[in-house]
Structure 1
Amino acid sequence: MSVSVFRLWAGLLLLPLSALAQLSAALPVARRAPNPAWLETLVTTSPVLRQHHVGVSLADAATGEKLYELNADKYFTPASVMKLFSVYAGLHLLSDSVPGLRYVVRGDSLIFWGTGDPTLLHGDVPSRRVLSFLQSRPEKLFYAAIPSVAPYGPGWTWDDYNYYYQPERGAFPVYGHTVRFYGTAGRTMPRIYPRFFGPLTQAAPTGTPNPDDDHVRRTELENQFAVFPATKNWVDETPFRTSPALLLQLLQDTLRRPVGVVTFRVLPQDSVRVVYGLPVDSLYRRLLRVSDNFLAEQLLLLCSSRLGPDSLSTRRPIRVMQKLFLADLPDVPRWVDGSGLSRLNLITPRTMTGLLLKLHQEVPEARLLSLLAAGGGQGTLRRRYRPVAGRAWLWGKTGTLTNNHNLVGYLRTKSGRLIAFSFLNNNMPGDDAPVRAEMERILGQVRERL
């Protein structure tokens, strides 16, 4: 992005809210409608939903007409449904391809730095364009570290460091910041990818406590991995601790050529260029369907890289989105990270539905629904909301933390109407399986009767 474009974004941030509101597509005018008595009875008399906090908001996706609301103006912990906000940011701030890295050439040296692109050597959404680019360049390679976010987001759970769903964030991630272990029953040691971490992995000493029944445990502050015996084949992903020194080792090991480090800033005479990678929809689809926290966090950093080339921030794209594109939502969301891992995020059901209406208004319907998990199809909804007569009828995004389970998205009624819905459940005292089943029963009735 050119310097003039960065200045344009900076100027937009200084506009009054009245002018900013005109930059975003206005929400459809919402006509008030009384809550259907049958639906009110289903929700409010449910013994499954009675013990915890429930918020529901339904609206016609085409017209914005409100169809049902319960506690729609109350704030809830959203968990992973916040990923829809990150994707909405990407739709506005990114082009049709992921920016993989930025670089300048000075004499016989190529200086490159990160954009937050998570796909370099990633196990699920891998892109080789950046790798091929760096391998093929004749210049000497130098990596420039730029200011970026802390490895963990605000309000994240510190003792989840060992689990696949909480890798560290960074400006130039490789391998998804995780080590993949492929275990075989009866064998002490698994296959390890990348192999760089093989010497750092050993069998857990006999008698080592394993209260969480893990296959692999990493020490909290070091890249030392212990493998526990298993009677079945298994696959595990364990985050590794990141550092500039480790990044250089991994890059040199992978590129098979030296990479230096420089302290660097862009000069007026520099011609900053970008290497692009995967189509953005590949990223959006993966992070929404399987609720990939790492991809969602890095997506916000990608958005930040488009707003300024010299540092990466989560707050910057959130601030831009709230001022330029989300000022017309019913209630101001508290939005602090890209994935929804933080319990500091807060959202109301009607605001979540408002975002769904904006998405439907701004993105072609076929493309929009293809990005979400389809009921009975894939991802987090593959075992529920199964197709009827071979046709999907619900597309959504789940959000789950301990004691919370939420579902938002779109459902197609028997009459062909598309409904945007938010169904939020917080402070559940026990297992969420009965709540999931009850939500499916109620939304099935919505499909039949609205």
Structure 2
Amino acid sequence: MLLRTSLLLLLTAWSLSWPPACSRQRGPAAVPPPATAATPLPWLDSLLTTTPGLRRHAVGLSLAYADSARPFYAYHADQYFVPASTLKLLSFYAARHLLGDTLPSLRYFSRHDTLYFQGTGDPTFLHPDVPSRRAYAFLATRPERVLAYCELPTAPAYGPGWAWDDYRYYFQAERGAFPLYGHTVRFYYSPAVPALRRRPGRPARLQVRPRVFAPLTALAPAPEPGPAQGHVRRAQLDNRFVALPAPRRWVDEVPYRTSRTLLLRLLGDTLRRRVVAAPWRPHPGRGDTIRTLPGLPADTLYRRMLRVSDNFLAEQLLLLCSTRVGYHDSLSTGRVIRAARRTSLAFLPDAPVWVDGSGLSPLNLLTPRDLTALLCRLHAEMPEHRLLSLLAAGGGPGTLRRRYADAHGPWLWAKTGTLRHDLNLCGYLRTRSGRLVAFAFLNNNHAASSWAVRNEVERVLGQVRRRL
């Protein structure tokens, strides 16, 4: 009897702890938490899976609202892709957190009649596209009798996985601690003008900048086939150049092989002062104060790097960052990458496989949602107008000048990324409703022409703009 009474009391208490079923049905529904997962967009799924130009290669797409950082669409967004030059956004973000508003141009100290100086990786010293004369004017006007360049151990000339036979192309200039002229030579060719009755003829002309390379350049006696390979040939292991004649004017840019001997010669020729090599051995206890010469505003470098996708500037940017990480005894790309992954980029949803600053290496791997997370973080940290001004804009200067604009101006601002079989685009697009959407659209392993894939990417993003 006692056992039955206890059991009855227990069942009664349990039933009272639950509300009746009818009250659960009539009560207000619980408010769901803010959505962080992707929401279905069947029309976009259909575009990505049925478009002939997108069906035969790997495609990933991630979309998020830039103002709230809320992702709302994902298609293979958690899978890894070769990012190509979209990786430059990681280099840009790391630099923003390490360098501040001004680039460090060079480090120096003075002792007696000698100025000792070393590079920081700053690529702007007489660079033809981002020219800075600050370091030049500083060195040219110093009162010390001797200028002593102090070599600094730095990253190898080429990054991991770079193609060895791209040494002759402007997009794969060598890295270095103290670059001059962007580590490239520019050639300006004018064809011969035949003599007429009242006008004398003129032979073909070739100008070489910097001029120190002119004696190392020969003009071929006749045009050669294969103009797609460029107008200038360079020997693989030394600085000997052959320029190919053509019926029209042309300008070409070719990297030169770097060495300490050549650097001293170029510096001496440029500054019109003798420059010697010396070890970097400051003695702070004896009054050797190490100073850093400020260079250009950092945005000047960022804008050029992002708009035209300049690989050399991106690589040098990570070397510049290494002056702010660890010791000052070397310039190391890997040191910066490890530090950034541990600190400023620790918020990325997937750990990036990151080996260089420019994205030239096919060993780099990112996910689409990594890139949209980064774009949303940039939007939160920077004024929108400033951020968009650094990127290539549709119809404007840079890599998007023929696309993504209408009569009212650009509707997309982005970073392109292209290797032979990879074509990627990530950035921001303004929808017809006025929302700013962060997107990453990655295409890997395509066998079609890049032009055809670009057309499909533009068509899909145009639909996103119209429907959202």
- TM, length-normalised to structure 2: 0.88
- Aligned equivalents of 1:66 and 1:198: distance in 2? 55
- Aligned equivalents of 2:72 and 2:123: distance in 1? 39
1:226 matched to 2:245: no
SS for the counterpart of 1:179 is strand
Q: Which one-letter code corresponds to 1:254 in the other structure? A: T
Q: Which one-letter code corresponds to 1:39 in the other structure? A: L
Corresponding residue of 2:437: 419
Map Cα deviations across residues 248-280 of structure 1 (whole Å, 9 max, x no partner): 000000000111111123444331111112110
Residue 214 (structure 1) shift? 2.2
Corresponding residue of 1:249: 265
Q: Which one-letter code corresponds to 1:330 in the other structure? A: P
Q: Which one-letter code corresponds to 2:329 in the other structure? A: D
Residue 209 (structure 1) shift? 6.6
Corresponding residue of 1:15: none
Within a 5 Å distance, the mapping from 1:46-85 to structure 2 comes to: 46-85=51-90
Quickly say closer, same or farther: Cα 1:443–1:348, change in 2 above 3 A.
same
Larger mean CA deviation between 421-430 and 300-309 belongs to 300-309
Map Cα deviations across residues 34-53 of structure 1 (whole Å, 9 max, x no partner): 22111111111111100100
Corresponding residue of 1:361: 380
- Aligned equivalents of 1:255 and 1:105: distance in 2? 18
1:115 touches 1:172 (CA, 8 Å); kept in 2? yes
Within a 5 Å distance, the mapping from 1:23-422 to structure 2 comes to: 31-139=36-144, 140-186=146-192, 187-204=203-220, 210=226, 212-269=228-285, 270-307=288-325, 308-386=327-405, 388-422=406-440
- Aligned equivalents of 1:205 and 1:158: distance in 2? 29
Residue 219 (structure 1) shift? 0.3
2:189 touches 2:205 (CA, 8 Å); kept in 1? yes
Quickly say closer, same or farther: Cα 1:208–1:443, change in 2 above 3 A.
closer
1:375 touches 1:392 (CA, 8 Å); kept in 2? yes
1:395 touches 1:409 (CA, 8 Å); kept in 2? yes
Residue 203 (structure 1) shift? 1.6
2:223 touches 2:246 (CA, 8 Å); kept in 1? no
Residue 205 (structure 1) shift? 5.2
Larger mean CA deviation between 202-211 and 278-287 belongs to 202-211
Q: Which one-letter code corresponds to 1:190 in the other structure? A: L
Larger mean CA deviation between 259-268 and 213-222 belongs to 259-268
2:423 touches 2:443 (CA, 8 Å); kept in 1? yes
2:223 touches 2:245 (CA, 8 Å); kept in 1? no
Residue 326 (structure 1) shift? 1.3
Q: Which one-letter code corresponds to 2:238 in the other structure? A: E
Q: Which one-letter code corresponds to 2:168 in the other structure? A: N
- TM, length-normalised to structure 1: 0.91
Q: Which one-letter code corresponds to 2:44 in the other structure? A: L
SS for the counterpart of 1:145 is coil
Larger mean CA deviation between 167-176 and 389-398 belongs to 389-398
Map Cα deviations across residues 177-211 of structure 1 (whole Å, 9 max, x no partner): 00000111225441111111000000235586757
Question: Structure 1 stretches of 5 or more lacking a match?
Answer: 1-28
1:444 matched to 2:462: yes
Map Cα deviations across residues 27-84 of structure 1 (whole Å, 9 max, x no partner): xx86224221111111111111001000000001111222211111111011000111
Quickly say closer, same or farther: Cα 1:205–1:391, change in 2 above 3 A.
closer
- Aligned equivalents of 1:197 and 1:142: distance in 2? 23
Quickly say closer, same or farther: Cα 1:264–1:429, change in 2 above 3 A.
same
1:79 touches 1:345 (CA, 8 Å); kept in 2? yes
Map Cα deviations across residues 104-145 of structure 1 (whole Å, 9 max, x no partner): 111221100000000001000000000000011011210000
Q: Which one-letter code corresponds to 1:403 in the other structure? A: H
1:116 touches 1:172 (CA, 8 Å); kept in 2? yes
Corresponding residue of 2:18: none
SS for the counterpart of 1:395 is strand
2:394 touches 2:403 (CA, 8 Å); kept in 1? yes
1:411 touches 1:418 (CA, 8 Å); kept in 2? yes
- Aligned equivalents of 2:234 and 2:388: distance in 1? 38
- Aligned equivalents of 2:299 and 2:222: distance in 1? 46
- Aligned equivalents of 1:444 and 1:266: distance in 2? 59
- Aligned equivalents of 2:131 and 2:262: distance in 1? 20
1:281 touches 1:371 (CA, 8 Å); kept in 2? yes
Map Cα deviations across residues 156-175 of structure 1 (whole Å, 9 max, x no partner): 00101111101000000000
Residue 419 (structure 1) shift? 0.4
Map Cα deviations across residues 196-252 of structure 1 (whole Å, 9 max, x no partner): 100000023558675754210100001000011111111000000000000000000
Q: Which one-letter code corresponds to 1:253 in the other structure? A: D
Within a 5 Å distance, the mapping from 1:14-29 to structure 2 comes to: none
Larger mean CA deviation between 257-266 and 433-442 belongs to 257-266
Sequence identity percentage:
60
Corresponding residue of 1:21: none
Give the alignment's Cα RMSD to 1 decimal. Answer: 1.4
